[in-house]
Structure 1
Amino acid sequence: MIEPDALRAADLRRRQAMIDGDADALAPLLASALVWTHSSGKQDGKESFLDKIAANAADYHELEVSDDVVACFGDIAIHRGNLTGRVSVDGREKALRNRFLSVWQGSGSTLQLLAWQSTGF
């Protein structure tokens, strides 16, 4: 059973690894079947997403979650809320103001992100 606090802790580690550009720290938090849908509509799987993090293709400066809700269903959980932050892509800084929906799987402290989708607002 996934506990909301454990999921929030895993998500915080995910965001910090992205800010740090640390693909090695991020990898265990992502399921092999990951589908990452960017706010632009483009999609990445686990390997392509990790490659982008390692190459610093998107340089995340800040990622903050607010107004989030976690709904747990055994070893699956849905996490939704607001994400704000800053990212530089191709040398241009962009402010992030998104709503997100993510799906996690696992139990205890072993949680992995299965799906992410965000939409600007």
Structure 2
Amino acid sequence: MSISIAAAPSQDTQEVAQVVERLRKAMVDADGVTLANLTSEHLSYGHSAGKLETKQEFINTIISGKSVFTSISLTDQSIKVINSTALVRHTFTAETNDKGKGAGFVKLSVLSVWVKGEQGWQMVARQAVKAD
């Protein structure tokens, strides 16, 4: 006889899922204050085309309207917490309306790294690649 017991998500895993959701919403809402609170001063934000942004560049891109997300969906998400670090993977699907480009669609595979410190969980790194 075999018994399988599924472990409930840890409190840290639940907290990380919540901050990832807050980041998703802040990107759609172009909420610079929330974006600033959820990202580390050391942020390395990698786009699927290879462009890297600092924290301030990432925030400015969103709040200036250069990158506009009319909707973002995160699916197939996995979260692995190791001490005070979390690795988050998901499929990022979005409808966009970037300044000067018009309506568009993007589907990406994303890995983000979050660290828990005095300010709570903050994203320190993110890298995206185009998904099939």
TM range (shorter): over 0.9
Show the counterpart of 2:30.
21
Distance in 2 (alpha carbons) for counterparts of 1:39 and 1:79: 16
- The equivalent residue for 1:116 is 126
Cα displacement (A) at 1:91: 3.5
Amino acid at match of 1:48: E
**Between structures 1 and 2, the one with greater strand share:** 1
Structure 1 residues 2 and 29 mapped into 2: Cα distance closer, same or farther (>3 Å)? farther
- 1:50 maps to what in 2? 59
Per the alignment, residue 103 of structure 1 pairs with: 113
Identity %: 23
State whether residues 2 and 77 of structure 1, in contact with CA within 8 Å, keep that contact through their aligned partners in structure 2.
no
Q: Which ranges of structure 2 fall in alignment gaps of 5 or more residues?
A: 1-9
Gaps in structure 1 of 5+ consecutive residues: none
Compute the displacement of 1:40 (Å): 1.2
Question: Contact between 1:6 and 1:108, CA under 8 Å: does it hold in 2?
Answer: no
The aligned runs of 1:71-82 (5 Å cut-off) are: 71-82=80-91
The 8 Å contact of residues 34 and 45 in structure 1, kept in 2 or not, is answered as yes
Deviations 1:64-105 (A, max 9, x none): 111111111110010002111111222422211111100000
Aligned pairs, number: 121
TM-score where L is the length of structure 2: 0.85
Q: Deviation string for 1:41-69 (max 9, x for gaps)?
A: 10100011111122111011111111111
Distance 1:14 1:60, change over 3 A: same
Q: Report if the CA contact (8 A) 1:39-1:120 is conserved.
A: yes
The yes-or-no answer on 1:34 pairing with 2:43 is: yes
| Contact kept? 1:38, 1:117, Cα under 8 Å | yes
Alpha-carbon separation, structure 1, partners of 2:70 and 2:108: 15
Moved over 2 A (4+): none
Q: Does 1:63 align with 2:72?
A: yes
